[in-house]
A and B are shown apart, each in its own frame.
Chain A
């Protein structure tokens, strides 16, 4: 019905209208600019953080499960003494022997020992006791020598694994396999060397010198009621719910917790953490969306106001256009296009500002935001929301223009 010339001139007119009233258009679109800029930069930051955190989680392993003691908060403390709450090695064994959904499991305990190598002596170095499955669970194999075996564990052999940092700190030869070191006054044979992992998690450097010994050996250094935690690997990440349920059932049975009673331990799959994080990120994104909604509402009212001003300023022009044959629909469309164009230009400027802010975020040292960027869906959404704002808030002024009586309009001063 409307010819291409109409569309061309309507859009050209919309831009020339903005150009002719630059500062007014800028002030009007400010609400939209600020709204789009703030929302897209928040989304950019979240996106960057999310991909960072998720890759870190995934490097840990999505099918990993952590088990640790947990005294219920809602129960009197004396009902749950530490010796009852703490995890026991028998429980780790029960899980290993009975749980169908796990592939690997290890108890982990740390003991502070005096370490001696030749004339080097370090007080109170943390030595970790582990089962051989630890290699698979942590995805850390030896770079030379051999990993731990079940024989080391069952025969309580005085063997140890060291990492590169430990070799450096203890001034051991680079190939330390076959060397002896003293741990807590006993002689241990270094059977393997493991890599130092740069496990930077939110800026915290968690590992430097590490020494590992069989769990059964570590246990002998520990006092009564020592602390141990358990890490396990599920056969697949999809088993997160099923597997944790099974483990809880086994632990409840081992502790004799009746059905309905609060558990004195906690079983958490990494997958659950990932889900929780994703839920959190989605929540924040939704809040950011809400902010854009409000700011667009505010911006939209400004748009409506300026469009009403424009309609009244151009009443004679509208009258003339009607006299030469513009239908009410053509006038309506023309003013809607103007409102939408103004909003889209505002959205574009806002997006450019958001992009700039996102770039600024990536340059903040140690903020973990170096992957911050505005995803395509947010760009599309920003434009869609802007256009929608123009459409909704431009409608009333456009209808007003379309309904103007041509004679009245031409008589307007």
Chain B
């Protein structure tokens, strides 16, 4: 069973008399442990697709199977549960709660979880250790740098061990050195088996991924693996191997 299977996804917005087809028949298949970049110019529908994949929004038509479950017709409460258990979000502007410490921010998904709240401390600490922030556990967001804030946000996103980690322009607010650090964390998570989807318009970011999906006017115009050589960057062996498999899939 595929992790994600999207068929003929449409999202139509009506603004006054105008009809905007933000997504105009998107087909997409994503396997477990994929590391995908979604690219495209501004207004091409990246964020809309992202919201759809993250179960924040429902499509106008089409189907979206997540882990074999059709989530395209779920109610708000059901979608919230799916988001809590299956999805981890990383946003461009971090979205940390300003009055809470890093630890409390990371624990937030467990507030709304069915179980797991009992061992929230060790889990949140482990997630913070994974992003290299063990020494900033009790700092508040305004006491952290941009890169550190985004690392807290990543720790929060992976806390519930989601099926997918969705990141919308995660490095958009960061300088290039910090961008590299954040991408290294994504790479590490991917190596640990995490499925990751990053929305970006930067080629350097996309080059860190294994597969690039390009959108234009709400349609997928290309879906290709990034090969080790063409990217020209150092990769872990497993990542390279994975990308070849995905490339084959994307072609069919």
Contact = CB atoms under 8 A, between A and B. Distances in A.
Interface of A: 2-6, 9, 16, 20, 316-317, 319-330, 406-407, 410
B72 to A, nearest CB: 16
A401 to B, nearest CB: 13
Interface stretch (B28-36, B112-120, B237-245): B112-120
A410 B112 contact: no
Interface of B: 51, 54, 56-57, 76-77, 80-81, 83-85, 89, 91, 95, 97, 99, 107-115, 117, 120, 156, 160
A328 B95 contact: no
A328 B77 contact: yes
22 contacts: A2-B112, A3-B111, A5-B117, A5-B120, A6-B111, A9-B111, A319-B95, A320-B97, A322-B56, A323-B54, A323-B95, A324-B83, A324-B156, A327-B76, A327-B77, A328-B77, A330-B112, A406-B56, A407-B51, A407-B56, A407-B57, A410-B91
Nearest to B116: A3
A325 B109 contact: yes
A334 B81 CA distance: 17
B241 to A, nearest CB: 33
B145 to A, nearest CB: 20
Contact of A327 (B85, B99, B112): B112
A325 B117 contact: no
Contacts of B76: 327-328
Q: Which 7 A-B pairs have the closest CB atoms?
A: A325-B84, A5-B117, A325-B112, A327-B80, A324-B109, A327-B77, A320-B95
Chain A interface mostly:
helix
Contact of B83 (A16, A323, A328): A323
Contact of A324 (B57, B84, B114): B84
Contacts of A317: 97
B200 to A, nearest CB: 18
Contacts of B97: 317, 320
A323 B89 contact: yes
A5 B110 contact: yes
Contacts of B80: 322, 325-328, 330
A5 B108 CA distance: 10
B83 A325 contact: yes
A9 B100 CA distance: 11
Given A3-B114, A321-B108, A324-B112, 20 more contacts: A4-B117, A5-B111, A5-B120, A16-B99, A20-B99, A316-B95, A319-B95, A320-B97, A322-B56, A323-B89, A324-B83, A325-B81, A325-B160, A327-B77, A327-B81, A328-B76, A328-B80, A330-B80, A406-B56, A410-B95
Nearest to B153: A320
B117 A3 contact: yes
Nearest to A328: B76
Contacts of A410: 91, 95
B89 A324 contact: yes
B113 A325 contact: yes
Contacts of B81: 325, 327
Nearest to B89: A323
Nearest to A411: B47
Contacts of B112: 2, 6, 321, 324-327, 330
A107 B173 CA distance: 101
A174 B108 CA distance: 87
Given A321-B108, A329-B77, A3 B113 contact: yes
Contacts of B120: 5
A269 to B, nearest CB: 65
A406 B110 CA distance: 18
B103 to A, nearest CB: 13
